[in-house]
Amino acid sequence: MDNMKLFFAGDVVIKKNISSNFIHPDLVAIINTHDVVSCNFEAPIITPDATPIRKAGPHVFQHDNAIKALNESGFNLYSLANNHIYDYGYEALKHTLAVLNDNDTIGAGLEFEEAYRAKYVTQNGLTVGMLSFAEWGFGALTDNHFTKSGYAWLNHESVNSRIRKTRESCDFLIVQIHAGVEELDFPLPEWRTRFRELIDLGVDVIIGHHPHVPQGWESYRNGLIFYSLGNFYFDAQSNHPLWNVGYAVSLALNKNRKPEYEVIPIIKRENQVLLNRDQEFCDHLSKITGILSSDDYLEIADKEALRLWETVYSPYYSFASNGINRSDSAYALLKVIYRWLFKKDHTQQHLFLLHNLKIESHRYAVERALTLMTNKA
């Protein structure tokens, strides 16, 4: 018998009123064999008077019934460090934490230490420590203002020492990380370096999410890194073929032994999450995991960075700088000229620039692409 079993799912956004049968009974049966069941709770539950914060990108929220449906399916630990949890500011986060009152949470809080605090679970003589961090976003707690609310930032100067200190108080340390380029099948080298650094600091298992598609996993020294579990249940439309598929991770922990794991492929179909037995998808998981150990990995990453620059970031910076996209019509260009001549508020463009400069995934991709381009010149 294992000392402790833990189940991890990816990104969750539930915008509609659903019941616990949104997860198929076969999958619920598996979930219920675990002691700790966790997901990335991607956005707050808001009140009618909630006010969106100023930011670039969409504001996301969840239905009042989301927690009840998840709890009834067996979830009992919610990772809150992500780029949408603070979309509606202090009051919405406060309300969300109040709704989650009977559950364990990690990664966000109404003050600094609450957001960065570790959670410990002890069972059968085994203590597991858990932390949750995300890359920068609007709502990240980047300064030591101890009365400020938000989520725990992965690259805060205190993170490395917090990891060392937490590891001293537990048998295993599991860290959930919300980071990575969205809809990319593999992590950028910069993220692999940072994740591996955390393993070197004492983390035993890293559970990744945020790209909204699955990425592979690897063993590094004595640790395990799952770069992205993909979406578990996400109420948003996307044309990406992997948007509604992903995997969960089952961990079996025993003292004085390395963590044992099982990857559980899942699919969201007609508003229900089911076990995914499709062989083509299982082959895809093997492929993206194989990329990580491939001799061609860096070349693949470089090509992807160049593609992202051409298709995403170059137009993005152009718009953020002057409001113009290369694909704009003549009428759209005239509107831009009018705004620059007669309207003085360029806040949204400044927010877009800040978004691209401070979010690590965007910055890493752009730096890699520009370095490659200038070295060829």
What pLDDT band is residue 321 in, cutting at 50, 70 and 90?
A: low
Query: Taking a C-beta distance cutoff of 8 angstroms, is the pair 31, 37 a contact?
Result: yes
Q: Calculate ∠ Cα 185-83-304, nearest 5°.
A: 25
Phi first, then psi, for residue 76 (nearest 5°) are -145, 5
> For the whole prediction, is pTM greater than 0.85?
yes
Q: Is it the case that residue 312 has pLDDT exceeding 70?
A: yes
Q: Is 109 helix (H, G, I), strand (E, B) or coil?
A: strand
pLDDT (mean) for 301-328:
82
Tens of pLDDT, residue by residue over 128-165, are: 999 999 999 999 999 876 668 999 999 999 999 999 99
Q: Which residues face 176 on adjacent strands? A: 132, 207
Q: Is it the case that residue 72 has pLDDT exceeding 80?
A: yes
The enclosing H or E element of 279 equals helix 279-292
In this predicted structure, what is the pLDDT of residue 349? 85
In this predicted structure, what is the pLDDT of residue 325? 57
In this predicted structure, what is the pLDDT of residue 320? 67
Q: Are strands 214-220 and 223-229 parallel, antiparallel or unpaired?
A: antiparallel
In this predicted structure, what is the pLDDT of residue 338? 53
d(CA 212, CA 322): 30
DSSP 259: P
| 68-71 contact pairs (CB < 8 A, 24+) | 68/20, 69/14, 69/18, 69/19, 69/20, 69/22, 70/12, 70/14, 70/39, 70/41, 71/103
User: Which residue did the predictor score with more confidence, 308 or 147?
Assistant: 308
pLDDT (mean) for 8-20:
94
Mean per-residue pLDDT over the chain, rounded: 93
The DSSP secondary structure of 165-197, one letter per residue, reads HHHTT-SEEEEEEE-S-TT-SS--HHHHHHHHH
In this predicted structure, what is the pLDDT of residue 331? 62
Q: Is 263 helix (H, G, I), strand (E, B) or coil?
A: strand
Domains of the chain, earliest start first: 4-292 (3.60.21.10), 297-376 (no CATH)
> Two tokens at 157?
């100067």
CA 16 to chain centre: 21
